[in-house]
Structure 1
Amino acid sequence: MPKKLLIKDKTTYAGNMRAGRQIRSRKLTTAVLVAVIPVFALAGSEISTGYNSYGYPGLIDMPVATSRPDGELAFSSSHFAGQTRNTLTFQITPRLSGSFRYSIIDNYQGGSTLYDRSFSLHYRFLDETYTRPAVAIGFNDFLGTGIYASEYVVATKSVGKRLRVSLGMGWGRLGGSGGFKNPLSVLSDKLETRPVRNTGQGGTVESAQFFRGDAALFGGVEWQATDRLKLIAEYSSDAYPDESPFNFERDSQLNLGASYKIRPGMDLSLRYLYGSEIGVQLTAALNPKNPASTSGREPAPPPVLPRGALSAEELNWPTSEGQQTTRSTDLAQALRQQGIRLHGLSFEGSTARVEIENTTYQLEAQAVGRTARVLSRRMPTNVDTFEIILVSSGVPVSELLVRRSDMETLGDDLEGSWKSFARTSITSPVGKLHPIPERYPRFDWNLKPYLTPSLFDPDSPIRADLGVQLDATYEPAPGWELTGSVRKKIIGNLDDASRRSDSLLTRVRSDFNLYEQQGDPAITNLTAAYYFKPGQDLYGRVTVGYLEPMFGGISSEVLWKPNNSPFAFGVEANYVKQRAYDQLFDFRSYEVATGHVSAYWDMGNGFHTQIDAGRYLAGDWGATVSLDREFKNGWKIGAFATLTDVPFSTFGEGSFDKGIRITMPISWLTGEPNKSAYTTTIRPVTRDGGARLDVGGRLYEKVRPLQKPALQDGWGKFWR
């Protein structure tokens, strides 16, 4: 037989075999669905939305139009055929979710292992009704290198309580299998062709690709078999162009899966993918709105004591200096038992002016309410008004006038919360503070564990150090703070990082691994700061010393923040010098003047946005835009992006600085009142462009929680 004919016959035979496998796979899928659905037709509960293998709301690989609960934060890890996707997803609003994904793909395009970072957005713009499905739109990998770049529109409709179907159309990666001419091309011929993506360093938005090129249909069925088990079948339009046939044979567009709820917030999924592969996924989710521990474990507040219940001895207020000192000491002790520090005490007529510092409660309104309760029990009968001053770093921020009669009448009122707020005057304080003699000087120290993670190093994607940190604070007088922190590593592998920076800019951040290798023990900060109030709505700060692990010098700031305004403006100016890698007392030669003009907006419903424009540590000029969502219990989840005059090619991988920051309050875990929190920032890559000084004690977060908008949001805790 001729050689060419033999080869042709072998090719034909292989094609026939593949076609046979595809037919058998489709038959298997149909058989499983036919067998399974009747078995569970009488079982199960209302269907839930799951996370697909890309980590956003979906089926197995494909998306759905429904959403997860508002505020949920989830981490998912999926694996099949040499591909691992680790995704962090946040349900930003009830309709909008955002995902950050770190993927590891072996044998990428038949070559080496690829480590890829990408973002996704999923927005539900129509809710499901009796006659209409929910409809959502999504964008995948719109900031990364684009290997998952795709757009989609998907509709999802429930059929009863346990069955749900989805049908959608995808472009880009999701238009690669079973594709056809873009129906949007009726609007413009340009939409028929999808431009080739210029990946470059990644991190750029290729909007010219959106909804262009071939489109393809996808869809699926979800069946909530029991309270814990959900079965899924989908028709995928993902062609896996860079992974197949290098990692697996794609014999079918049908996928089957089962998802089992191990416990609330944790699901395990097993999948049969593309007619040839087995996949697995583990998802763990939490919601900041739902505490991990039972709330309300703090001691009950003291009951309000009506003036008629006071003894004859308490009717008379001592007049001598010694007697007044004794009474202020007693008041300080009573407040201390409630987790509140008495800063000052004075009287004017029938008004008691009490200065407090909240050292315990996430919401300042709770500290105010407990203070008012204590005052109702400690003040003589001639005191009609409690003037409560909220103090931060020795600076008065807010003045609340609470009538004693309101405390006596509203304590048991079912609508006492909003009524007490309506009757409380909240303004900016006027006049000087009157600290009690024992308030200054004051020395505090704290020994606690620390955890420093490092993510996305291709040599070792997850690194971390665990150790102990000693913090100390000395306050010699109002407004003055001397602080310092020393760390000692106990265990960890951050110092194992071997990669060296290839930055074309001054290496103000990209040499972070050298600081980790040589800084043990390390003085992370050692500063002297002065906080002051130059005007009624103005706040000031000057800080000198070792300001952060990598820089020391002088930092100054002025903030304008009216008490009843959602807006604020600030100016910060710094002159700093780079610290030595050992993070002790020496400096390197590099020094720079840096600073920013900042605008802040409290958007309501817990959302805050901030814009900082100015000069960064590497000498580049630009601006940072931040958006954060803050929950009433202290959780904060947000994202930021910085664009400067540094060209993307000079910045390097990632093109510009961006990241996600998460703050988790300790009280959320323990259920006990505590102002401590763990904060981490997740950056896809750490480079030198757009790097800002990380000085502590910035004014906005010291002032804002103590002012009227934040007090109003948390006033539900006033009586707790």
Structure 2
Amino acid sequence: MKPSLQALIAGLLLVLVPQISHAQTKTTYRQSDYGGVGLMQMPSARMNPEGELSLNYRDNDPFRRISLSMQLFPWLETTVRYTDIRYERYSIDPEFSNQTLKDKGLDVKLNLLNEGRYQPELAIGLRDLGGTGLYSGEYIVASKQLFNSADWGAIDVTAGIGWGYLGVRDNINNPLCHVDDRFCQRSRTTSGTGGQFEVDDWFRGSSALFAGVEYQTPWQPLVLQVEYDANDYSQERLSNPVDPNLTEPPVYSDSPLNWGAQYALNDHVQLNLSYQRGNTWMFGITLHADLDGAEQIKVKPRKRAVLSVPQTDEAELTQALKSELGIELSGWQIQGTTLTLYQQGEGNYRNRAEQLERATRIATHYVAEDIKRYEWVTVNQGMAINSYNVDVDEFKQIAYGARFTKPLSNTYSQSEARAWSAQQGEARTLTPDWDVTWRPSLSQSFGSAESFYFYQFAANADINITLTPRWQVNASIGMNVLNNYDQFTYRVDDYESPLPRVRTYVREYYADTDVWLSNLYSQYTAKLKNNWYGAAYAGYLERMFAGAGTSVLYRPQSSDWAFGGNLNWVKQRSFDEPLGLRDYKVWTGHLSAYWQTPWLERSLVKLDAGRFLAGDEGVKVTFEHRFESGVVAGAYAALTNVSAEDYGEGSFTKGLYLSIPFDLFSVKSSIDHAGLSWEPITRDGGQTLKRPVDLYRLTDLRQPFYLNGIK
């Protein structure tokens, strides 16, 4: 399997992110061959610190594995993995595909018990729970440190019991058979087209004990390992051999013991070497990054001292806020001793507390001392989103050090943003404006028959015309830079599915065009009343669909809950005519609920219920977690009234994504993000329209203080 562009990009990120991370002060455990903390083939009960991201490559003939493991919470480890099986073909028809078989898998591990003086750490895990089932297995495992000395090193022992692929050695009767006879039997096939959770098979069938010892040598970079493997490799699949003369899988075990060593080049790169099954050498590499603690040293203006001045200078204040914080004032009102300042956009600082402090310090230089209250109102696309209120006298007292036991955040409060009143102050006239920005983009698809990975790397020119703060016209023109879609020889014109093709035409859109119109649309946004926001849009909304739509959002100030809905009429765009349309059209829309879970800090659950692009109906569930660094990791799944057989390979739409702040790679502060996504296979069911306006994101500042970096 040739290295893909996506793997190279992920590797680059993992190399760069550690360079901007905190010094390594957390205990980071080593990754297994499958990804996830473990020994070699076997898992352990250990968990890495929250936010630990590991990119792993292992070559263990005849398998090659690439995996990405993330410690989403201190108690939850997740892993996605691709395995290249070099002795088996993807298909029996070489005209359809001539690549070797690529198997995808998803693993999770849950912490059950933390290690104590006498008790071990305990975990339960599921391997390949949503893939083809080729490597599916379950386990319960315990780990305990027996010895730790600065002079002699440390010894960590692991023991557990496995089922499925982790129980093939069958060296112990399944203890759950004593609970119910059904646990004694396990299916060796997956239901439907794969990709489902085969709950009925979990912890069933044969089982096996496994164990291992890990020795951290006194020489810190070197770790030695030995494990007893619970798999004897007697049930490997051989359906479509690469070599027609091959009658048995070239995988067998001469010994249950695996021996290994890991060498750390630094805190972020480890090399692996082991001898497994008594007949095979394995080598690999792991790259680590700390997504929770990642940060970049910033070049910032010095925080201004707090002053008291006799009169207000609006022009100087406006200039200072724009040059130092990226805040553009659009309005200015004084009522008694309260000054309300309306700012366009959110400024440059993701940390709201820091931006609010800096803005208030600047204001004391140019606002008369008889003003006792500042109201900083943020306006996004003409919508008043949020008001941060500052008690000026209290702020000055704390800043001067007169009340050094109190934080500055004690002087802040959050309230509903007041609507603009022309009778109460002057507004800057915002004339029509336009700008052009350039950005790179990566479009991709995984798991196709012709090749494991297809991509298009493009340069995009984004044009924004602001007619009024609420009314905008946007366009994006794409230009091909790198593209391997021309390798497609099979355009699946006879794709058998009862669903209309809404996303599987991706190849036709990307294969033959060097310059294209990504979108061209007009949008209008408005605050309808307190807590209510609305948007309307029309035009060429995305690469594949054009049409019109509207959305509405109810989001109370400082609430963990929000509710919304959208309704759209769209028509499929032509493959090669920039403004052309095809015959397919559909009404699509959803009712949405958003919940910032207080018991899972900085986590969002979103539920969308309605009609999807292919006319199928159902729900889409999205979960995302934001780390302290601002990196967001998310996952989604769409379940509709389309059966797994009608949907096709994968059974239902699902995927993962990362959103990474730009300022992790820059010495300048920024609120912009870059996104990476992974959808194991693209099908037509459960697909949503890429709407140009996301009201929930535009109103993020309405969330509670604890989510805005203000404590």
TM > 0.5: yes
- Which residue among 384, 393, 407 is the counterpart of 1:405? 393
1:252-401 equivalences in 2 (<5 Å): 252-291=255-294, 294-305=296-307, 307=308, 310=309, 315-317=310-312, 327-338=313-324, 339-356=326-343, 357-401=345-389
Q: Deviation of residue 703 (structure 1)?
A: 0.5
Indicate which of 641, 645, 666 corresponds to 1:670.
Answer: 666
The Cα offsets for residues 170-229 of structure 1, whole Å up to 9 and x where unpaired, read as 011111114332112221222222234334311111111111112111010101122211
1:569 maps onto 2:563 in alignment: yes
Q: Which residue of 1 aligns with 2:613?
A: 617
Q: Measure, in 2, the Cα distance between the counterparts of 1:553 and 1:258.
A: 58
Amino acid at match of 1:330: E
Matched with 1:638 is 634
- Whether the aligned pair in 2 keeps the contact of 1:523 and 1:583 (CA below 8 Å) is no
Kept in 1, the 8 Å contact 2:519–2:543? The answer is yes
Residue 60 (str. 1) matches residue 51 (str. 2): no
**Per the alignment, in what secondary structure is the counterpart of residue 688 of structure 1?**
coil
Q: Separation in 2 of the partners of 1:414 and 1:483? A: 51
Cα deviation digits, residues 607-660 of structure 1 (max 9, x gap): 100000000000000000111001243311010000000111000000000000
Distance 1:340 1:536, change over 3 A: same
* 1:551-575 Cα distance to aligned partner (Å, 9 max, x none): 1111210100001210000010001
Q: How far apart, in 2, do the equivalents of 1:529 and 1:421 lie?
A: 37
In the alignment, the residues of structure 1 paired with residue 496 and residue 416 of structure 2 have an alpha-carbon distance, to the nearest angstrom, of 47
1:420 Cα deviation from its structure 2 partner = 3.4
Equivalent pair of 1:118/1:144 in contact (CA under 8 Å): yes
Q: Using a 3 Å threshold, how does the CA distance of structure 1 residues 583 and 368 change in structure 2: closer, same or farther? A: farther
Distance 1:238 1:413, change over 3 A: farther
Distance 1:103 1:671 in 2: 38
Aligned to 1:188: 180
Contact 1:525-1:548 within 8 A present in 2 as well: yes
CA offsets 1:589-621 (integer angstroms, 9 cap, x no match): 111100000000011311100000000000000
Which of 198, 211, 216 is 2:203 aligned to?
211
Report how many residues are paired.
654
Deviation (angstroms), 1:539: 0.5
Q: Cα deviation per residue 1:469-490 (whole Å; 9 max; x = unaligned)?
A: 1112121212112211111122
Question: What letter is aligned with 2:304?
Answer: P
TM-score by length of 1: 0.87
CA deviation after TM superposition for structure 1 residue 583, in Å: 6.6
Mapping of 1:595-606 within 5 angstroms?
A: 595-604=589-598, 605-606=601-602
Cα contact 1:365–1:711 (8 A) shared by 2:
no
Deviation string 1:91-141 (CA, Å, 9 cap, x unpaired) is 111011111111111224999732111111111111111101101100111
Matched, 1:684 2:675: no
Give the letter aligned to residue 560 of structure 1: Y
C-alpha deviations, 1:71-96, integer Å up to 9, x for none?
Answer: 11221111111211111111111011
Distance 1:394 1:135, change over 3 A: same
Q: Secondary structure at the match of 1:61?
A: coil
1:378/1:296 CA distance change after superposition, 3 Å: same
Match of 2:214 among 211, 214, 222: 222
Choose from 231, 240, 248 the match for 2:251: 248
2:702 is the alignment partner of 1:715: no
CA distance in 2 between counterparts of 1:414 and 1:176 reads 70
Q: Which runs of 4+ in 1 moved over 6 A?
A: 109-112, 414-418
Distance in 1 (CA, whole Å) between partners of 2:91 and 2:465 is 58
1:497 aligns with 2:488: yes
- Please point out which of 124, 135, 142 is paired with 2:122: 135
Q: Is the 8 A contact 1:133 1:157 kept in 2?
A: yes
Change (3 A) 1:422 1:166: same
Deviation at 1:436, TM superposition (A): 3.4
The aligned residue for residue 93 of structure 1 is 73
Moved more, 362-371 or 431-440: 431-440
What is the CA-CA distance between 1:493 and the residue it aligns to?
1.8
- Tell whether the 8 Å contact from 1:363 to 1:711 is kept in structure 2 after alignment: no
- Are 2:667 and 1:693 aligned? no
Structure 1 residue 431 corresponds to structure 2 residue 431? no
Aligned to 2:16: none
Which residue in 2 is equivalent to 1:480? 471
The alpha-carbon distance between structure 1 residues 206 and 414, as it changes in their structure 2 partners (threshold 3 A), is farther
Are the counterparts in 1 of residues 90 and 449 from structure 2 also a CA contact under 8 Å? no
Is 1:170 the counterpart of 2:166? The answer is no
The 2-side partners of 1:67 and 1:412 are apart by: 45
Shift in Å, 1:465:
2.8
For 1:293-323, what per-residue CA distance to the aligned partner results, in whole angstroms no more than 9, with x for missing partners?
A: 6333333332322x1xx3xxxx245xxxxxx
Query: Would you tell me which structure has more helix in proportion to its own residues?
Result: 1
Mapped partners of 1:694, 1:711: distance in 2: 30
SS of 1:421's partner is helix
* 1:382 CA displacement: 1.8
Once residues 692 and 320 of structure 2 are traced to their aligned partners in structure 1, the CA distance between those partners, rounded to angstroms, is 31
The answer to whether the Cα contact below 8 Å between 1:503 and 1:688 also exists between their aligned partners in 2 is: no
User: Which consecutive residues of structure 1, in runs of 5 or more, have no partner in the other structure?
Assistant: 1-44, 318-326
Return the letter of the residue paired with 2:485. Answer: L
Task: Indicate conservation of the 8 Å contact 1:524/1:583, yes or no.
Answer: no
Whether the 8 Å CA contact 2:90–2:102 is kept in 1: the answer is: no
Shift of 1:51: 0.9
Q: Partner of 1:525 in structure 2?
A: 519
Residues of 2 paired with 1:74 and 1:125: CA distance? 22
Cα drift, residue 452 of structure 1: 3.0
Mapping 1:104-143, distance limit 5 Å = 104-108=84-88, 113-143=100-130
Deviation at 1:145, TM superposition (A): 1.2
SS in 1 for 2:463: strand
Q: Identity, % of aligned pairs?
A: 30
SS in 2 for 1:219: strand
Structure 1 stretch displaced more, 676-685 or 640-649: 676-685
CA contact (8 A) 1:440 1:478 kept: no
Q: What is the CA-CA distance between 1:243 and the residue it aligns to? A: 5.8
Q: Which amino acid aligns with 1:521?
A: V
AA aligned opposite 2:320: A
Q: Which amino acid aligns with 1:482?
A: V
Give yes or no for contact 1:174–1:239 (8 Å, CA) kept in 2.
Answer: no
Q: Which residue of 2 aligns with 1:22?
A: none
Q: TM-score, length-normalised on structure 2? A: 0.88
Taking only aligned residues, the RMSD between alpha carbons, in angstroms, comes to 2.3
Q: Greater CA deviation, 616-625 or 405-414?
A: 405-414
d(CA) in 2 for partners of 1:46 and 1:410? 34
Equivalent AA in structure 2 for residue 129 of structure 1? G
Measure the CA separation in 1 of the matches of 2:684 and 2:457. Answer: 26
User: 1:492 deviation in Å?
Assistant: 3.0
Q: Distance in 2 between matches of 1:165 and 1:47?
A: 17
What SS class does the counterpart of residue 123 from structure 1 fall into? strand
